[in-house]
Structure formats: structure tokens, C-alpha cells
Structure 1
Amino acid sequence: MITDQNPGWHLRHKYQDLPDIFYSSVGPTEVAQSKIVLFNETLAEELGLDDTLLRQLPDIFTGNQLPDESKPIAQAYAGHQFASFTMLGDGRAVLLGEQQADDGRLYDIQLKGAGRTPYSRGGDGRAALGPMLREYLISESMHGLGVPTSRGLAVATTGEKVYREEVLPGAVLTRVADSHIRVGTFQYARQWGSKQDLQALADYTIDRHYPEIAEDENKYLSFLHKVAERQAALIAKWQLVGFIHGVMNTDNVAISGQTIDYGPCAFMDRYDRQTVFSSIDLERRYAYGNQPEIGAWNMARFAESLLILIDEEEEKALPQAKEVIQNYLSLVESYWLDGMRAKLGIVDKTDEDKVLIERLLNLMEQHRADFTNTFRALTLLQFDPASRLFQAKAFQTWFQEWQSKLALQSMTVTEAYQLMKQHNPSVIPRNYLVEKVLDEAVSNNDYQPLYDLLAVMQNPYAYTEMQEAYAADPPDEAYQTFCGT
């Protein structure tokens, strides 16, 4: 119920039914002054919240004031960070509870940058304004692109400074996710909990995300299958829009199948399978072309955590789990291939489709062509005469073969181009544009460029006149991203 005092919070705390090794009760740390600088009206409505009333309660979004019935906690988890296993946990985030929407679904409401917790490991528990604006912008862009993702409900400044390499304005992001249960949560349970703890976590997660398998003969093996399927579909979507997560550690892999924890992420401009933006990924572990294989590696770590539940004799569970992991890369390729077919307007599948697609990608890589704008040009049949790719004889040969294929399909060529429009974004949050709007907001307190970019990214498949200004090829300059902690 929405009242003058309650804007529609229906917070539940089902995660706290788990054994207490999985969390610590801890509240946000008070800040000097709360001011909302970004607010997601559409998401508030989806959550059953009154956006007008919420806007009048900025202290909710920094933790100075808690929603009714809130019981804040920090979650415990572990993770392989660049393949090194360690104990982690919410070092600067608190979970206020699970908002129950009108349709009965639960959504985690988390304050990121809310202060120290038992898992802070010497950190200050705070977040800088720039990275919080960036996560809000990129996650909303991913939502517009049709990629499963956590989302931002609000960003609020704190009136305080945070100290990194330089002194920066502080902020808190209110993050909404299907849950914050990670592969690392299961690794933590397997390493430091009992079998009963692990089983309780698995049963809770199945009930929340995969209730359809609850009665399966071996529901924990089915659980592994389901999570692997969702991860495969997710990473295929990343590849199809040129998204590079940047830090695919197991603690950043959500069991729900959503993209989560946007740190040094970015979108690829020129097509290059070895593209890396993260300043800390010196060995290119998480390069664009490696993301499917790293996904398989992460799923193998998840499978290891579940072995004892799949079969009490783990050696009997091992071949069953291996089969799931071995099939994982085939799943990713299947989802990716279907997506690439759609990007090229192909509906009548043949075995030759992959060869046609790979030939185009190889030509794009050879001529350093922009990933998004190449598919945009094919969708609109508008080719830059200065483009090395489009002037190449090999491309022209490829183009004629592709056109011949479209002409022989069961759908019309016009329908094929309409399909392409639905799968090739006109715009992405270009790295240089993201940095520009964030600098204007943080340095000059001018949020209008950020609002404009967010509006453009709400429907990146619209091909509107307004999007034209955001669709140009980026400047030819090096770009690097940094972790926000």
C-alpha cells in the first residue's frame, strides 16, 4: 500500500532464512547530505513504488533513512579473481531487502557505496560519483539493448569526499537485481560451510529462480544445467552487441543469469577479438574473444561447488557435471549463431551460415571496421565511401553472396531488413561519449548530456533522427577503464 509515509515498499527478507554464515546484519553508514541526481521512474513503477513520493525522500537512497520493514545485511561470498581464490563479501554494499512487486516477483534492493561492512577488508566502503553514474548508465543501456542486467533505481550524492588516486565526490547507487546470489556464494558455502549450508543455499536459489525443477529426480544436476544455459545465453548476447565485461571473476557471475557488477566494462568499437579495456587485465584474460571460454571456466567452478549435492559420492557426480560443462561452449555458439543470423536477416538456416558470418567478421577485423556501425550500414544499406572495408573487393564479393541468400529466403528481403533493425542497434553507449557525459556531470555538475544519452539508449533499435548524432564512428584514440573501488 502507498501512503504518505510509505511509497509502496513491500520488503521481504527471505535470504535471511538461510544459515547466518551467509550474511552479516549491518546498516548503512550515515552521510552528510543526500541529493538524488538520477532517478529511474520506469523501474520504480515496475517495482510498485510511487516515484513522486520517492523523489521527496533522498535519504532513502544514501541509507540515512531506511524503508519501512528494512533489515539491512551484507552478503558473504568468495570468488576466483583473475583465477586466484579468495574470501570476499559485500565490502561496500548493503541489501535493504527484497521488494515484492505486484506480480509477486522478488527484487533485491541494494545500496552500493553505503559504508563499511565486516567484509570491507580495510576499504572505506564508499563509492565515487563517477563509477556509480557509469554503472547506472551502462546497466540501463544494456537493458535497452535487451541484455539481462541488474539496474539502477537511483544515484544520490552524499555531500562527502572519497579518497582514491584523487579526491572525488561520493555517491550511492541503489541497485536492483533479481538477486545478488553469485557463483562465488556457492564457492563460499562449499569452502567454509557444511553440506547442509550448501544445500540450504541451493534449495533457496532453486525456489527463487528455477522453481520448475524443484521436483526433478536430481534437481541439483538440473540446477547446474539451468544456470549454464542462462549464462551461455547471456554471454552470447554480450558478444552480439560487442560488450566486454572486463572482470569476469566468479564473484561477478550472477546465478540468475543477469549481468552484474559493472566495473571496468566497455563496448568494443573496432572489431578485434583481443580487445581489452581494463587497466588491470594485463594478460587479456577477459578479452572480448575470450568471454565464452571464461564463462565455461566459471561454470566449471560452479559445478565443483555442487558435486556433493549431485551425488554423495563426488566421483560419480563428476562425469555428469563434466558433460554439462563440455556442452556449454556449444550452447554459447548456438545462441550466438542464431543471433548473428538475425543481425544479417537470415531466417532459413543452413550449415554454410557460420562460414558466411565468419568471413564477414574476418574482413571487419582485417580492415579495423567498427563493429556496431558495420551492421548498422548493412541494415540501412548505407556505406561510407571512405571505408576500407566497404571498398575491399573481398567485401563486395561477400556482399553479393549475402544478397543472393536473402533473395532466396522464405521471407521477403524487406522483411529481412526489418528483422535486422530489431537486432542491430543504431547506437551503443560509445566509450568516448560515456566519458564525456560523466565528466560534465562530475566536474561541471551538468547532468543534461547524461540525461540525453540515457534517453537515446532507452530504445537503441529505434533508428531515430535523434540517434544520428550518437552513431558516428568514434575518434581513433586509446581507451582504458578502471575499477571503481
Structure 2
Amino acid sequence: MHPFDGLTWTHRFAELGPNFFTELPPQGLPDPHWVARSPACAELLGWPAHWADAPQALDAMAGRACWPGMRPLATVYSGHQFGVWAGQLGDGRALWLGEVATPHGPHELQLKGAGLTPYSRRGDGRAVLRSSIREFLCSEAMAALGVPTTRALCITGSALPVMRERVETAAVVTRVAPSFVRFGHFEHFAHHGQPEALRQLADWFIRHHAPECAEAPQPVVALLARVARQTAELMAHWQSLGFCHGVMNTDNMSMLGLTLDYGPFGFMDAFDPGHICNHSDDRGRYAYARQPAVAFWNLHALAQALLPLMPGEPEAAGEQLLDAVEGYRSHFAQAMQQRMGAKLGLAGSDASDQALIDDFLKLMAASRTDFTLSFRRLADAWHTPEPLRDLFIDRDALDAWLARWRQRTTASAQAGMRAVNPAVVLRNHLAEGAIRAAERGDFSETERLLKVLSRPFDEPENPGDAALPPDWASTLEVSCSS
């Protein structure tokens, strides 16, 4: 008997019917091997620590076999990419396997890199080891930071060659989330003139993922307001950590407000509001400082997609949806001030707080100080300001700011500040070290980093994990190629 024969799989998305997906088997990796596994994600699922020792576990996660109850399918969606309507997209290299019951409710499992689908367009349906390690580590790192995110259960690898800018090797990431439904799923049926399918999708999503919206006078408006609120909270969390997504297309925006699709992401080293983490983003559409506004734009695209579901005159219906989207502004401003206030250890709230926050960021930008270290060292600056002062060029200006800051905080705020200002984030050079070792067949650095990133607010045993990046880190480039 298979150890997972008793695992209950459900297929709520498949209830929508073949208009929403294509069923097909995965194209498994030849001669697969384990690269990495996340104990924390397995725990989320309620799976035993030794789950990967089960027969066929490796083959299932490499797309070579299906456990009893799995039902692989690729979903169809559309979207705006870099602000331009891109038409039909879809799961070009991802296969949804179904849902499993967990202590935290139903969660979907998805294989990324399991071969061609009808939506692969000009792609090969594969993921490479390099990008798979980045997604795996960052998914789990973001979860440990408390950021809403899809999760990563494991990576399987293979010697199968894959051509990108150079020949690389293939890998599959097993991703986990309550839902992988995106803004683009709704855009697809709206832009293709299928209002009945759009209504079916909205009703299904509300029933399974936003049931409180069903009781509202206008469930669709309530759903949009919910998504706007969750997206605002997500953006505030990203901005407060110096996280840049890199490709905030509407097809990469989660209807549950999760961080979705880790491609050319990056945590900033030197603080620059105009920082562009994606080498493919030559116009800087998705620069760090623009992310909140892009999310607002994407919500308007979602509102436009939902308009056919609204009763009454289009103008009045549109106003209701725009009002729902408009709530994003206040939610984001409030969430951002709360997060930044906590990072600065501010006691209560004061009318001068926003200026205090803004002025610290201006000082950081002027000196291009390290984002993560600036806030981490600020937590200790009440008693030992020198490590923080060492990061700044204009120390007199910093000292003047610290005098204002001390009037709004206390020495006892240190513990709280350390609990929200991480010591370690997945900097590009840390990920690169794990990737280079893995490409030599050594996965120990990936495993070590996973453990370090699972406790981001603790000082790491290796001081280098929390140190300023080496000079060569500035030469690293990440792009849409994966």
C-alpha cells in the first residue's frame, strides 16, 4: 500500500469544467534526484518529516508518476505584461495536481517545470535549476518573514539540458498555496467575451475562497474590495522589507494577496527608490518605488474585467468598482505607516511620524546605505549608534535625525524592532552561492541557507549571512529568463 493512499485529494478547480483548463500528464524529468525539501512546508501540509522517503515520492515530485488522487491540469488565463495587453497566456510550465486537506485548510499543489502544456507558447515548459533554487529559497524565506506567499515544498533536479542564455539543467519546484488563481484568470474571460464563464469563475472563487463576500449587496464589489485590501497589505510588506518583485504583470497578481511567481526578484542592498531588480525591465516600470502604484493599476485592470458581472448601467456599475479599488490607497497608507512605525520602534502614533519615516529614508537614499542593515542597526542605535553611523556619509544629519527619533521611542523598543527588522534576507549573492554549488552537484549550501532563512530575525551563526554584500554582488543580474 502506498503511504499516501489515504491522502484525500479534492479537485474544486476542476469543477469549473474544461473551458478553464486542459488536463494532461506531466512530462517528468529523466533520472531525477532531490535538490532540496522544506520541512516547514511539509509541516504546513501536515505531512510527516520523512514524507520524501515514501515510494514514488521522488517520481511524483519530478512529474514522472502521479500519486493516487492526483489530477494534473494546466489552467488558462490572460493578462497585461509590462502594461500592455498580452492576450492568452496560461500555465505554460505549471501543472496543478489538486488540493489536499491540511491543518490550515485545503491547499493546492503545483509542479513548475513539468513540461509543455497547450499554453507554453514559445517556451519549452521547463524550469532551470538556477531559478528553481531562487524560487524555493525565497518562497520559504518570505513565509518566515511573515509575508503572504505561495510556498515551496521541494525541488527535484535532473541532468536534462535546457537552453536559456546558456545550457543549464532542468528542475521542478513543487509549489503550494490555498489558490493559484490570478487577476489574469478573470481578465481572460472578460477580454474574450465570455460573461457566463466569468460569472462562473467569480461565483466559484467567492464560494470557496471569499465566502463572506456572498452576503454583500454586491458580491463582486465586495470581492474586489477584499482583493484591494489584501494587495495593499502585501505591497506595504514588500516595501517595508526592500523587496522587489520584478514582474508585476496582472497574470502574476494573486487573488488572495499572495506573493506569486518568483522570477527576477531581489531584496535591495544599497537603498535606491528607483532600483530596478529585473534586467529585462529597461523602462523601469517595476522599480521599487513604483510597485505600490503598479498594484493600483493592476487592480483597475481587474475591476475592468469584473465590470460585465455588474448589474445596472455600466457607468454606475463602474463607479462602484472604482470605489472598491480606491480603498487600496487608504489601506496601503495605513499599512505602510504601521509597518514603518514598527520598524522604527515608534511608541503609539504622532502627527510627526510620517515626516520622521520619510526623512530616514531620504538619509538612506542619499548615502545609498544598505536597506536591511540600516533598519537592523537602528534597533541597537539607542545604546550603540556607531554601527549605524558607519553606514552613512552625512553623519551629522543622521545624528540630528536620531535626536528626533529618540523623542518618539525608548530603549526598551529594541526587542520589538529586532522582531520586525530581519538580520538575514535572501540577497542575490547568497542565492548565487547556493546556485553555483548546486550546479556542481553540491546542494548543502541550499539546505544551509534554507535553515538560516527560516529564522530571519535571529543573528546567524555565520556573520557573513548578515554582512554587507561583497563587491562582486553588484555585477549580478536577474532577468525574465528562467
> Structure 1 length normalisation: TM-score?
0.94
Write the distance in 1 (CA, Å) between the matches of 2:151 and 2:207.
22
SS in 2 for 1:320: helix
Alignment-derived partner of residue 93 in structure 2: 92
Q: How many Å apart are 1:437 and its aligned residue? A: 1.5
- The question of 1:399 aligning with 2:402 is answered yes
Pairs within 5 Å for 1:8-27: 9-27=7-25
Q: Which amino acid aligns with 1:417?
A: Q
Contact 1:99/1:106 (8 A) holds in 2: yes
Deviates more, 1:379-388 or 1:327-336: 379-388
Alignment-derived partner of residue 424 in structure 1: 421
SS in 2 for 1:230: helix
Write the distance in 2 (CA, Å) between the matches of 1:95 and 1:214.
26
Deviates more, 1:239-248 or 1:168-177: 168-177
Assess, with a 3 A threshold, how the Cα gap between structure 1 residues 432 and 214 changes in structure 2: closer, same or farther.
same
Contact 2:378/2:388 (8 A) holds in 1: no
Write the distance in 1 (CA, Å) between the matches of 2:421 and 2:389.
22
Alignment-derived partner of residue 346 in structure 2: 346
Contact 1:237/1:336 (8 A) holds in 2: yes
Write the distance in 1 (CA, Å) between the matches of 2:359 and 2:227.
32
Write the deviation string for residues 228-280 of structure 1: whole angstroms up to 9, x where unpaired: 00000001100011100000000000101110100000101111110012111
Pairs within 5 Å for 1:19-168: 19-56=17-54, 57-85=57-85, 86-103=87-104, 105-168=105-168
Write the deviation string for residues 439-477 of structure 1: whole angstroms up to 9, x where unpaired: 1111x2112222221111101112x35153311111343
Write the distance in 2 (CA, Å) between the matches of 1:289 and 1:484.
23
Assess, with a 3 A threshold, how the Cα gap between structure 1 residues 347 and 308 changes in structure 2: closer, same or farther.
farther
Q: How many Å apart are 1:178 and its aligned residue? A: 1.6
Unaligned runs of 5+ in 1: 408-412
Write the distance in 1 (CA, Å) between the matches of 2:434 and 2:300.
39
Assess, with a 3 A threshold, how the Cα gap between structure 1 residues 7 and 239 changes in structure 2: closer, same or farther.
farther
Pairs within 5 Å for 1:269-288: 269-288=269-288
- The question of 1:466 aligning with 2:457 is answered no
Q: Which amino acid aligns with 1:183?
A: F
Runs of 4+ in structure 1 displaced over 4 angstroms? none
Write the deviation string for residues 322-360 of structure 1: whole angstroms up to 9, x where unpaired: 222333223212101110000011131011100011011
Alignment-derived partner of residue 476 in structure 2: 479
Contact 1:112/1:173 (8 A) holds in 2: yes
Write the distance in 1 (CA, Å) between the matches of 2:389 and 2:5.
55
Q: Paired residues, what number?
A: 474
Assess, with a 3 A threshold, how the Cα gap between structure 1 residues 360 and 65 changes in structure 2: closer, same or farther.
same
Write the deviation string for residues 66-108 of structure 1: whole angstroms up to 9, x where unpaired: 01111111000001011111210011111111112145x1111
Write the distance in 2 (CA, Å) between the matches of 1:388 and 1:454.
28
Contact 1:28/1:63 (8 A) holds in 2: yes
Q: Which amino acid aligns with 1:394?
A: A
SS in 1 for 2:307: helix
Assess, with a 3 A threshold, how the Cα gap between structure 1 residues 275 and 372 changes in structure 2: closer, same or farther.
same
Q: Which amino acid aligns with 1:419?
A: G
Assess, with a 3 A threshold, how the Cα gap between structure 1 residues 227 and 465 changes in structure 2: closer, same or farther.
closer
Alignment-derived partner of residue 313 in structure 2: 313
Contact 2:126/2:170 (8 A) holds in 1: yes
Deviates more, 1:237-246 or 1:322-331: 322-331
Alignment-derived partner of residue 445 in structure 1: 441
Contact 2:374/2:391 (8 A) holds in 1: no
Alignment-derived partner of residue 410 in structure 1: none
Deviates more, 1:153-162 or 1:68-77: 153-162
Contact 1:8/1:50 (8 A) holds in 2: no
Write the distance in 2 (CA, Å) between the matches of 1:66 and 1:193.
35
SS in 2 for 1:161: strand
Write the distance in 2 (CA, Å) between the matches of 1:422 and 1:102.
26
Write the distance in 1 (CA, Å) between the matches of 2:212 and 2:389.
54
Write the distance in 2 (CA, Å) between the matches of 1:216 and 1:39.
42
Assess, with a 3 A threshold, how the Cα gap between structure 1 residues 236 and 8 changes in structure 2: closer, same or farther.
farther
Pairs within 5 Å for 1:228-377: 228-377=228-377
SS in 2 for 1:176: strand
Q: Which amino acid aligns with 2:423?
A: S
Contact 2:157/2:172 (8 A) holds in 1: yes
Assess, with a 3 A threshold, how the Cα gap between structure 1 residues 419 and 310 changes in structure 2: closer, same or farther.
farther
Deviates more, 1:471-480 or 1:238-247: 471-480
Task: Report % sequence identity.
Answer: 36
SS in 1 for 2:31: coil
Write the distance in 2 (CA, Å) between the matches of 1:426 and 1:472.
9
Contact 1:246/1:264 (8 A) holds in 2: yes
Q: How many Å apart are 1:318 and its aligned residue? A: 1.1
Q: Which amino acid aligns with 1:77?
A: Y
Q: How many Å apart are 1:17 and its aligned residue? A: 0.8
Unaligned runs of 5+ in 2: none
Assess, with a 3 A threshold, how the Cα gap between structure 1 residues 303 and 432 changes in structure 2: closer, same or farther.
same
